């Protein structure tokens, strides 16, 4: 999984699977989901990230029991 922040576009991108994107849709204003050819979610973008996320330059990863 990759998490990328583009400050020039103020976009936060989450990529779950490195594969071609077949389709995408805006599920909420400024939130776009992307799908592979089987219809599985492979990533999503958040536009205007600095106004929606506390700090788009920092990420925390946790494993739950």
Domain boundaries, the chain: 19-57
Tokens of 3: 């998490």
**CA–CA distance, 54 with 32 (Å, rounded to integer):** 19
Per-residue pLDDT tens listing for the chain (65 residues): 999 999 999 999 999 999 999 999 999 999 999 999 999 999 999 999 999 999 999 988 889 98
Pick from 63, 62, 46: nearest CA to 54: 46
């Amino acid at each position: 999984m990759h998490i990328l922040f583009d400050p020039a576009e103020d976009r936060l991108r989450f990529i779950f699977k490195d594969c071609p994107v077949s389709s995408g849709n805006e599920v909420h204003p400024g939130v776009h989901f992307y799908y592979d050819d089987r219809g599985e979610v492979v990533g999503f973008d958040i536009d205007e990230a600095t106004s929606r996320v506390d700090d788009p330059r920092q990420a925390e990863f946790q494993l739950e029991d």
